[in-house]
């Protein structure tokens, strides 16, 4: 696995402002992902962030609202822009790692950071 | 729409019993399947992965996969109160993207 940290762990923000969430991993990984978990719900993928290329966004998520940076193989940021109360959620980054003894792309596993709990007032 | 379905529960079992959690998925071409455990207020923790038909055992956990039936399950033997959590089934439905599609989760309660 890997040690993944996120900053901030939680924040309370005002409507209309923006928050940048950082995700740091202790080893180099090719693929990083950003998910959202709304209260009482499961996880929904926001975007996939590969180093050296533009992030790939899922349906319903757009770059202007959720810009992502991936400057190197151990770090990524997600910005939640022009926030509204509907953006109140837990935001999680994950990294993809090939387990020991694993072979091929089917064996990759995803590990999650501790999450950022965002409340928009 | 590609989906992963789970019974939301709660599934209540007595301590020491076997807990059986089930999951179905819609994309017949899916190749990678995972079970995550999520305690309240915490992030998901990977507990099992399975890629081939059959059973895979790790300690008290056994994952079972049946691709023909598009069904994956998790058995927890000798359930403990500390196993009480939400269990999320996740599937990689697009090998190129490798992103996870999650079920809604099953809440497990182990009664002491």
Chain B residues with CB-CB distance to A45 below 8 A: 99-101
Q: What is the pLDDT of residue A54?
A: 87
pLDDT of residue A118: 98
- DSSP class per residue in B18-35: -EEEEEEES-TT--EEEE
Task: Please give the mean pLDDT across all residues of chain A.
Answer: 92
The DSSP letter of residue B60 is: T
Band of the pLDDT at A105, cuts 50, 70, 90? low
Give the integer Cα–Cα distance in Å for A77 and A55: 11
Least confident range of A29-33, A97-101, B25-29, B95-99? A97-101
Is residue B28 pLDDT above 80, yes or no? yes
Could A110 and B46 be called an inter-chain contact, meaning their C-beta atoms sit closer than 8 Å? yes
Binary contact (A112, B43; C-beta < 8 A): yes
Residue B112 burial by Cβ neighbours in a 10 Å radius (0-12, 13-18, 19+): exposed
Span B75-92, average pLDDT: 97
Could you tell me the pLDDT band of residue B93, with boundaries at 50, 70 and 90?
A: confident
Q: How far apart are CA A117 and CA A91, in angstroms?
A: 6
Segment B13-23 shows an average pLDDT of 98
- Residues A28-59: tens digit of each pLDDT: 998 999 999 999 899 999 999 988 888 999 99
Size of interface A-B (CB pairs under 8 A): 59
C-alpha closest to that of B84 among B58, B60, B112, B108: B108
For residues B101 and B90, the answer to whether their CB atoms sit within 8 Å is yes
DSSP B78: S
In this prediction, residue B98 carries a pLDDT of: 82
pLDDT for res A115: 98
Q: Show the beta-strand stretches assigned E in B1-112.
A: 4-6, 11-14, 19-25, 32-38, 45-50, 54-58, 61-66, 71-76, 85-92, 100-102, 106-111
Specify whether the CB–CB gap between A54 and B108 falls below 8 A. no
User: Chain B residues contacting A, CB < 8 Å?
Assistant: 31-32, 34, 36, 42-46, 49, 51, 88, 90, 92, 95, 97-105
Q: Does residue A91 sit at the B interface (CB-CB below 8 Å)?
A: no
- Above 80 in pLDDT, residue A104? no
């Amino acid at each position: 696995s890997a040690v993944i940290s996120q900053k901030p762990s939680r924040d309370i923000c005002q409507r209309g402002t923006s928050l940048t969430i950082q995700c740091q991993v202790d080893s180099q990984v090719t693929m990083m992902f950003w998910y959202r978990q709304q209260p009482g719900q499961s996880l929904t993928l926001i975007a996939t962030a590969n180093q050296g290329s533009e992030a790939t966004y899922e349906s319903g998520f757009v770059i202007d609202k959720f810009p992502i940076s991936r400057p190197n193989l151990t770090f990524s940021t997600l910005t939640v822009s022009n926030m509204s109360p509907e953006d109140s959620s837990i935001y999680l980054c994950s990294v993809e790692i090939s387990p020991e003894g694993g072979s091929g792309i089917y064996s990759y596993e995803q590990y999650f950071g501790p999450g950022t709990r965002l409340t928009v007032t | 729409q590609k989906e992963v379905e789970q019974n939301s529960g709660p599934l209540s079992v007595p301590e020491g019993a076997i807990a059986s959690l089930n999951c179905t998925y819609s994309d017949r071409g899916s190749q990678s399947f995972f079970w995550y455990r999520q305690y309240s207020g915490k992030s998901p923790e990977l507990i099992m992965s399975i890629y081939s038909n059959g059973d895979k055992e790790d300690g008290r956990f056994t994952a079972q996969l049946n691709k023909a039936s598009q069904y994956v399950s998790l058995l927890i033997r000798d359930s403990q109160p500390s196993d009480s959590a939400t269990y999320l089934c996740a599937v990689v439905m697009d090998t190129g993207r490798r992103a996870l599609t999650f079920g809604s989760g099953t809440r497990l309660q182990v009664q002491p």
